[in-house]
Structure 1
């Protein structure tokens, strides 16, 4: 945290000003806190901001599950109306968008930064369960060979 107001220092890989970064994590913290309160979460927006900031700083700019390089230029550009109008093709363009994901499925302020495609695939699974699922998918794909369309 820097300055007299609430300002957070952006990690280098994000490539935005500290002011834009502070706005981003505050906006995301409000959204995730609101969603988690509906699921029984009892943490504050301030706790979420701190946890999201820590997650961004722990991240090296790559998805921790598949190693894909995240595209921070996509931060703050997703548009719900465009997504509804364009469907899956629009969403695919955001596959490497850095997103805030709960490490476990619990509504607590414990986050990691992953790609949107990983977040979407992982759903509410904790890391161990998601990795086991991915292994099963690969095993079945290997067994079926080129029989998949």
Structure 2
């Protein structure tokens, strides 16, 4: 019987189809649970479809940084090991693919795939607020940041 959610080609040889399906199911359930607590009406099947679509759209890359994600890390994080290894353990999962709501107050299933590190940094910020924060961090560090297509004067 064919799978409903065929893993994208970039996961071939990296993640078994069964593991991908399990990951999708768990991620959808976690986001549904969180969003229902926020008073949203949502369904596992709808979220699963939306997350799968976000994975396909990602082409295996972080939606915000463009970095290649380490898909071999999905479903490997262990809380017990994390408590023992603390920051060093979690740092090893920086490029773990995670599911990010485009906006924390989103009422529909709209997701992007990004690294755990990126998702932690973005937290509950909207995309625009996250970009603004990134710009402020870079400007404070002495970088000049301008929007794509902006005209630079010399």
TM range (shorter): 0.7 to 0.9
Q: Are 1:122 and 2:122 matched, yes or no?
A: yes
**d(CA) in 2 for partners of 1:106, 1:48:** 15
Task: Specify the alignment match of 1:147 in structure 2.
Answer: none
Q: Does 1:105 align with 2:104?
A: yes
CA distance in 2, matches of 1:90, 1:19: 26
Paired residues of 1:29 and 1:48 also in contact (CA < 8 A):
yes
Q: How far is the alpha carbon of 1:63 from its aligned partner?
A: 1.1
How far apart are the structure 1 equivalents of 2:34 and 2:125?
Answer: 17
Is 1:13 the counterpart of 2:13? The answer is no
Partner SS state of residue 87, structure 1 = helix
Where in structure 2 are the equivalents of 1:1-149 lying within 5 Å? 3=2, 7-14=4-11, 15-107=14-106, 108-142=108-142
Question: Of Structure 1 and Structure 2, which has the larger fraction of its residues in helix?
Answer: 1
Q: Per-residue CA shift, 1:33-76, capped at 9, x if unaligned?
A: 11111111211011111111111111111112112110000011
Q: Tell me, which stretches of 5 or more residues in structure 1 are unaligned?
A: 144-149
Contact 1:63 1:115 in 2 (8 A): yes
The two structures have a TM-score, normalised by structure 2, of 0.84
CA apart distance, 1:81: 1.6
